[in-house]
A and B are shown apart, each in its own frame.
Chain A
C-alpha cells in the first residue's frame, strides 16, 4: 500500500499491452528407471528463456529479441504436439517444465487479474506425476511448482484396492487484482491510492485416510487447513468532487486486507444394507478471520479523509448428518437426508475516520454528514439448523422422470452486538455517543 495520494492522473482508462512468451517441454520416464530425487530430465541442456535484457534497449527491440529467442528455442526442442490425455498405454510418469516471460505496458494489475498470471518471469515444474507399486498398493506423487506465480501443489497418495488409502497434500495459488479504482471520462480523472497490482494467496493443506471394510463399508477421515491472505480491490469506492463540476462521483479506490484461516475435521461412514446405501457424517470447523477495508473519500480535496473498517471473527461450526439411498427396481429411487448444524460466532471490530488508514479515533477529526463509524464493537451470532429431506424419483418411461420432494427445515438465527457509535454529529461535543446495542432474532420454519 502506498502512503500518499497521487491525483489526478491525466491518462485514459485502464488498459494493458503485453508481450508474452511461453515455453514448455514434456519429459517422460519409465517407472523402472526413475529414482525420486535424481534428475528426471532427459535433455538437461535446454534452458528457460530469461527476461533479462540489456539496459537501454528500446521496448520494441527488446520484445522482438525475446520473441525471436523463444521461437528459436521452441523450434530446437520440438514441443510436444499432443496433450497427455490423448496418449494411451504409455507411462505417464512424467515431468513438464515450463517458463514464461511477460512484459506489461499499462495497467499491470488489470492484466494480471484478467489473465491469472504472474510477472515478469515465472517458471518451474508445470506438471509432475510419478506412479509405482509399493507392495500391493499404488504410490502416486504429483504436483507442480511455479515460482513467480506462487502456484504450488503437492500430493502424495498410497492407495490399496481392498484396504483403503491415505493421502496428504498442499495447494496454494495466487490471484491478482487491480487496485486502480474508477475512471471518470468527462474529467479524465483516475485516482490512485494503492498498489496497481494486488495479490491474494489462497491455499489448503490436507490429510485424508479411508479404510475399506470387507463388508463394503467405508470409513473416511479428513483434516483440512485452509487460508486466504493478501490484498484485493473492493468496489465500495469512495467519493470525489474532482469531476469538472459534474457533482459527486464514487470513483476513489478501496482495498480489502484479508487474513482468514480455518481448520476442518470431517468424518464419514458409508455402508450398503440390502438395496439401501446409508451413511453418517460429522464435521467440525474452526474459523478465524481478521479482515479490513481501507477507503479514501474525496482524495486531494480539502475534505480528504480515510477510514478503515476492521472486523475480526472466530466461529465454530458443528454438523452431523445422515443419508439413505434406496432402489426399488429400476424405476423407483428413494433418498432421504437429515442434518443438524450449530454455528457460534464471536466478532469484534471498528470503523474509524482519520487522516490515515487504521487511525486512532479522534472525535475532533473533521468529517461530514454520513461519515458514520463505530468503535469497540463486540458481539456474537449463532445459527441452529434442523433439516430433513425426502425425495422420490420415479422413471415410468424412458426419458420421463418424476421427482417428488419434501424438505423440512427449522432455522434459528440470533445475533447481539454492542458498540460505541461515532456518527456525525454526535461526536462533536468531544465525546462518543452513548453505547448502542443491536440485536436480532430470526426464525424460519
Chain B
C-alpha cells in the first residue's frame, strides 16, 4: 500500500502553521490599534476645557474681585488673565479657567459661609487643572525622572505664580532671581562658592529640565554634550580635542565631564579653580 506523503513544501510544516498563527494574531492586534490612531488624528475639536463643577455656570472674573481683591487686583498682569471663551457669549473667565465655574460659590457667599462644601476647584491640591492646558509639562512629568508633582508631593504653585506676571519667575530683570525658586529647597547648591561655576548664574535650567527628563538628576543631557553647549572644543587636528586649552580626547570617551577624578564640583568648589573637587 502506497503511503500518501504531502508534497514537498506543503503547509503541513508545524513551523509554518505557527507563523501563520502569529501573523493572524498580529493583524488582529494591529486593527484596533490602527482604528484608535486614525480616530485620534481625525479629531479636530479642542480637547482642553476648564474644570467643571456640577450645577455651576461661569460668572466672570469680576465677581471674584468682590471678595478676593488682593489676588484679582494684579491679575491683569498675568498671562492667564487673557484666557477667555470665544463666541457670542464671550466672558472673561480668567479665574474660572482654573478654579471652575463660580456661580454656586458666589451664590452661597463663598466657602467661608458654608464650611465643608466644595464649590470651587483648588489647583494646589492637584496638578490636573494646570496640565489640562500645559500638555508639555504633563509629558515631562511622565518621564522617568521628574519632580514629584504627579505624586502630589509638590504642586505647580510651589514654583510658579499663576496670579501675576508671566508665571515664570525668570527672564528680563528677574533673570538672576530665577535660581531662588530652586535653592529654596536645594539649599546645598546655593553657595556661595569660592570658585563658582558661571553657568549657575545663567540659571539652574541651563543644565536641568525642572519638570522632567529622561536623564538622571533632571539633566538636559546625559553626557559631555551638556558641558559642551558652553565650553568650546577645539579640534586642531583629526582626533585631537582640546577643551579649555587642555587635551581632552582621551577623557571624553571615559564618561561624563563630571566623572570621579575629573570635574566633580559642577555647582562650585571651595578649593579648586577647575572645579575638580
Interface residues of A (CB under 8 A from B): 30-31, 84-93, 113-114, 116-117, 131-133, 138, 140, 151, 159, 161, 173, 175, 182, 202, 226, 233, 235-239, 247-252, 254, 258, 260, 262, 277, 287, 289, 291, 293, 295, 297, 307, 309, 311, 313, 325, 327, 333, 343, 345, 347, 349, 351, 370-374, 377, 379, 381-383, 389, 391, 393, 395, 399, 403, 405-407, 409, 413, 415-417, 419, 438-440, 442
Shortest CB distance A258–B (Å): 8
Shortest CB distance A315–B (Å): 8
Does residue B106 face the partner (Cβ distance < 8 Å to A)? Answer: no
Chain B 116-129 per-residue mask, 1 if CB under 8 angstroms from chain A, else 0: 11110110011000
Shortest CB distance B210–A (Å): 15
Q: Once the chains are docked, how many angstroms separate the CA of A248 from the CA of B256?
A: 12
Chain B 163-198 per-residue mask, 1 if CB under 8 angstroms from chain A, else 0: 000000000111010000000010110011111100
Shortest CB distance B272–A (Å): 8
Does residue B91 face the partner (Cβ distance < 8 Å to A)? Answer: no
Does residue B151 face the partner (Cβ distance < 8 Å to A)? Answer: yes
Shortest CB distance B166–A (Å): 10
Q: Once the chains are docked, how many angstroms separate the CA of A287 from the CA of B264?
A: 23
Shortest CB distance A278–B (Å): 13
Q: Once the chains are docked, how many angstroms separate the CA of A307 from the CA of B276?
A: 14
For residue A248, which residues in chain B have a CB less than 8 angstroms away from its CB?
Answer: 254
B260 in contact with A132 (CB, 8 Å): no
Q: Which of B14-22, B23-31, B47-55 contacts A (4 or more CB under 8 A)?
A: B47-55
With A114-B144, A313-B188 in contact, do A31 and B115 touch (Cβ < 8 Å)? Answer: yes
B188 in contact with A250 (CB, 8 Å): no
A88 in contact with B104 (CB, 8 Å): yes
Does residue B235 face the partner (Cβ distance < 8 Å to A)? Answer: no
Does residue B148 face the partner (Cβ distance < 8 Å to A)? Answer: yes
Q: Which of B3-11, B37-45, B72-80, B237-245 contacts A (4 or more CB under 8 A)?
A: B72-80
Tell which of B115, B188, B193, B217 touches A131, judged by Cβ atoms closer than 8 Å: B115
Question: Which 8 pairs across A and B sit closest by C-beta, in order of nearness?
Answer: A250-B255, A415-B194, A250-B259, A407-B173, A116-B151, A131-B115, A173-B153, A91-B116
For residue B53, which residues in chain A have a CB less than 8 angstroms away from its CB?
Answer: 85-86, 88
Chain A contact residues: over half helix, strand or loop, or mixed?
strand
Shortest CB distance A189–B (Å): 14
B188 in contact with A415 (CB, 8 Å): no
Q: 10 A-B contacts, Cβ less than 8 Å apart? A: A30-B116, A85-B121, A89-B104, A89-B119, A116-B151, A325-B74, A343-B192, A351-B277, A381-B191, A419-B271
Contacts A250-B260, A372-B276 known; list 18 others, CB within 8 Å.
A89-B55, A89-B104, A89-B118, A89-B119, A114-B144, A138-B112, A173-B148, A235-B256, A237-B256, A249-B254, A297-B261, A347-B270, A371-B261, A381-B191, A399-B82, A417-B270, A440-B194, A442-B196
For residue A295, which residues in chain B have a CB less than 8 angstroms away from its CB?
Answer: 260
B116 in contact with A92 (CB, 8 Å): yes
Q: Once the chains are docked, how many angstroms separate the CA of A250 from the CA of B112?
A: 59
Chain B contact residues: over half helix, strand or loop, or mixed?
loop
Nearest neighbor of B154 in chain A, beta-carbon distance: A173
Shortest CB distance B22–A (Å): 22
Q: Once the chains are docked, how many angstroms separate the CA of A345 from the CA of B148?
A: 30
Tell which of B115, B145, B259 touches A138, judged by Cβ atoms closer than 8 Å: B115
Does residue B56 face the partner (Cβ distance < 8 Å to A)? Answer: yes
B54 in contact with A86 (CB, 8 Å): yes
Does residue B100 face the partner (Cβ distance < 8 Å to A)? Answer: yes
Does residue B216 face the partner (Cβ distance < 8 Å to A)? Answer: yes
A260 in contact with B187 (CB, 8 Å): yes
With A116-B148, A248-B254 in contact, do A289 and B119 touch (Cβ < 8 Å)? Answer: no
Nearest neighbor of A436 in chain B, beta-carbon distance: B271
For residue B56, which residues in chain A have a CB less than 8 angstroms away from its CB?
Answer: 88
Tell which of A30, A31, A132, A438 touches B270, judged by Cβ atoms closer than 8 Å: A438
For residue B122, which residues in chain A have a CB less than 8 angstroms away from its CB?
Answer: 85
Tell which of A88, A159, A262 touches B118, judged by Cβ atoms closer than 8 Å: A88
For residue B51, which residues in chain A have a CB less than 8 angstroms away from its CB?
Answer: 85
B192 in contact with A413 (CB, 8 Å): yes
Shortest CB distance B239–A (Å): 14
Shortest CB distance B94–A (Å): 14
Tell which of B174, B187, B196, B270 touches A377, judged by Cβ atoms closer than 8 Å: B270
A405 in contact with B172 (CB, 8 Å): yes
Tell which of A86, A374, A377 touches B52, judged by Cβ atoms closer than 8 Å: A86
Does residue B140 face the partner (Cβ distance < 8 Å to A)? Answer: no
With A85-B121, A383-B192, A413-B192 in contact, do A237 and B259 touch (Cβ < 8 Å)? Answer: yes
With A132-B115, A247-B253, A440-B195 in contact, do A236 and B77 touch (Cβ < 8 Å)? Answer: no
Tell which of A86, A89, A114, A239 touches B254, judged by Cβ atoms closer than 8 Å: A239
Interface residues of B in 127-156 (CB under 8 A from A): 144-145, 148, 150-151, 153
Does residue B58 face the partner (Cβ distance < 8 Å to A)? Answer: no
Nearest neighbor of A370 in chain B, beta-carbon distance: B261
With A116-B151, A393-B77, A438-B194 in contact, do A85 and B118 touch (Cβ < 8 Å)? Answer: yes
Q: Once the chains are docked, how many angstroms separate the CA of A260 from the CA of B186?
A: 10
